[in-house]
Amino acid sequence: MALPKVGSIGEYIREQRQQAKISLRQLASAAGVSNPYLSQIERGLRKPSAEILNQIAKGLQISSQALYVQAGLIEDRETPSDVVTAIRADAHLSERQRQVLIDIYESFRKEKHPEDEQTSQKAHPRGDSVTDDEPPLPEEFLAALEPYAASGGNGTVNQETKEG
């Protein structure tokens, strides 16, 4: 049983890491695990414990739960994977807001996930720090959301960027 079929989890981690444009060693350092071990995990040669998984999730700044689901450590149905249901059940949203969120979510789900083809990014980030601190959402984007947001009409988008 030494053949772990956890390939997906390793691939998932590697995808997330490359998407974040950080090197294996950087992630290993951020996650507090050794570089060789992370290498083996990414290639599916080792089955990381949940503790390591959790640290990696932190290093990647992604949800631990998503990682656990990928690792098969949490049953899919156990997670409220039904985002739409959650949105529908949220009483704090207006009906218009719900519709917008659901539409965006479904459009995301339709976007096929390319198998890690980052053609657009540089192959070598080099010594230059690649701190992609892009703001979560540009103001104009949120401004475009407003008319769809609520019926209040009070256009007040408080998206203060707490950039230190």
Residues that bind DNA (CB under 7 A): 1-2, 4, 23-26, 32-37, 39-40, 42-43, 46-49, 51-52, 124, 126-127
What is the C-alpha separation between 7 and 17, in angstroms, rounded?
15
Q: Is 44 left (phi over 0), alpha (psi -120 to 50) or beta?
A: left
Nearer Cβ to a copy of itself (41/60): 60
Q: Is 149 in the site for a copy of itself (CB under 8 A)?
A: yes
What is the C-alpha separation between 90 and 113, in angstroms, rounded?
28
Nearer Cβ to DNA (14/101): 14
Q: Is 30 in the site for a copy of itself (CB under 8 A)?
A: no
**How far is CA 26 from each of CA 77, 95, 127, 145, rounded to the nearest angstrom?**
34, 44, 13, 36
Could you say which residues in the range 53-72 bind a copy of itself, by CB under 8 A?
53-54, 60, 62-66, 68-71
Q: Is 163 in the site for a copy of itself (CB under 8 A)?
A: no
